[in-house]
Amino acid sequence: MTRKQKRLAMILSGLAALGVAAGLVLYAISDTIVFFFTPSEMAEKHVAPGQRLRLGGMVEAGSVASTDGVNHIFVVTDTIATTKVHFKGQLPDLFREGQGVVAEGVLQQDGSFEADTVLAKHDENYMPREVAESLKAKGVHLGKGAGQ
């Protein structure tokens, strides 16, 4: 091979590697992304049960119930609509009533939400950005620390 051919071969193999990477990325992205909704968005967009998604909002005050310390039921609200969430596991330290929360899981036939992950944050003033923005868009007033 001449110098030019060698270089061409190298560039081609590089492009092939990038092509494989790009293919993987495109395939994975279309297959694995998870959409984020607040309770009212979920109602507006008629989200089909069975789809994996993230539900965000605030934990409605007084709604948290856990009978055995492992199964938790709470209500997520964006002040317009609410969704009941069931979660088996340990709630994060910073999970509190009236605070922002994101739950990932699957919407059930009966309209409740079966979460397998519940996220709160390291910082106690935390309001998940999506939650803050969604609530702001709906005109809900937020206290300090929101929208970080």
Partner 1 sequence: MIVEIGHFALVLALAVAAYQFAVNLYGAHRNDAGLMAAGRMAALTQAVLIGLAFFVLMHAYVVSDFSVENVFRNSHSAKPLLYKVSGVWGNHEGSMLLWVFILALFGGAVALFGRNLPPQLKARVLGVQGSVGLAFLLFVVLTSNPFTRLSPAPIEGQGLNPILQDPALAFHPPFLYSGYVGLSVAFAFAVAALIEGKVDAAWARWVRPWTLASWTFLTIGIAMGSWWAYYELGWGGFWFWDPVENASLMPWLVATALIHSAIVVEKRNALKIWTLLLSIFAFSLSLLGTFLVRSGILTSVHAFAVDPDRGFFILAILTVFIGGSLTLFAIRAPRLKAGGLFAPVSREGALVVNNLILCAAAAAVFVGTLYPLALETLNGAKITVGAPYFNLTFGPLMIPLLLLVPLGPMLTWKRASLTAVGRRLWLVAVMALAIGLAVLVMTVRGPWFAALGVGVGAWLILGALWELSERLGAGRVPLAAAWARFRGLPRAAMGMTLAHAGLGLALIGIFGVSFWRVENIVAMKPGDVASIGAYTVTFIGETPLKGPNYTGVSGKFDLKRDGALVTTLVSEKREFKPRGMPTTEVGLYQTVAGDVYLAMGDAAMNGGRSVRMYYNPLASFIWWGAAIMFLGGLLSLTDRRFRVGAPRRAAAPAFSASEGSAA
Q: Tokens 């309001």 belong to which residue? A: 127
Q: Which residue lies nearer to partner 1 by CB, 108 or 117?
A: 117
Give the shortest CB-52-to-partner 1 separation in angstroms: 10
Sign of CA dihedral 26, 55, 126, 69: negative
Residue where the block lists tokens 């059930």: 108
Task: Compare residues 4 and 110 and give the one whose CB is closer to partner 1.
Answer: 4
Residues 46, 48, 50, 67: which binds partner 1 (CB under 8 A)? Answer: 67
Distance CA 22, CA 30 (A): 12
Stretch that binds partner 1, among 16-24, 74-82, 107-115 (CB under 8 A): 16-24
- Of 44, 112, 29, the C-alpha closest to 75 is 112
Side chain identity, residue 12: L
Interface ranges with partner 1 (CB under 8 A): 3, 6, 9-10, 13-14, 17-18, 20-21, 24-25, 27-29, 31-37, 54, 65-70, 88-94, 104, 119, 121-126, 128-130, 134, 145, 148
